[in-house]
Amino acid sequence: MRKIIVGSRQSALALTQTGQVIADLERLSGEHGFGFTFEVHKIVTKGDRILDVTLSKVGGKGLFVKEIEQAMLAHEIDMAVHSMKDMPSELPEGLMNGAVPKRVDPRDCLISNGGLALEDLPQGARVGTSSLRRSSQLAALRPDLQIEPVRGNIDSRLGKLENGEYDAILLAAAGLARMGWKDRVTAYLPPEVCLPAVGQGALGIECRVDDAELRKLLALYDDEQTALTVAAERTFLGALNGGCQVPIGAFAVLDNEAVKSASQRLITLTGMVGTPDGSVILKETCSGYDPAQLGEEVARKLIARGAEQILADARG
Residues serving a catalytic function are: 86
| Adjacent-strand bridge partners of 203 | 83
Q: Three-state SS string across 155-224, please?
A: HHHHHHHHCCCCCEEEEEHHHHHHHCCHHHCCEEECCCCCCCCCCCCCEEEEEECCCHHHHHHHHHHCCH
Q: Where are the beta strands (DSSP E) in the chain?
A: 3-8, 37-42, 79-83, 95-99, 108-112, 126-128, 146-148, 168-172, 187-189, 203-208, 248-261, 264-274, 281-288
Q: Is the dihedral of CA 266, 106, 45, 316 positive or negative?
A: positive
Measure the CA–CA gap between 73 and 80, rounded to whole angstroms: 12
AA identity, residue 10: Q
CB atoms within 10 A of CB 300: 16
| Adjacent-strand bridge partners of 274 | 281
Measure the CA–CA gap between 290 and 293, rounded to whole angstroms: 5
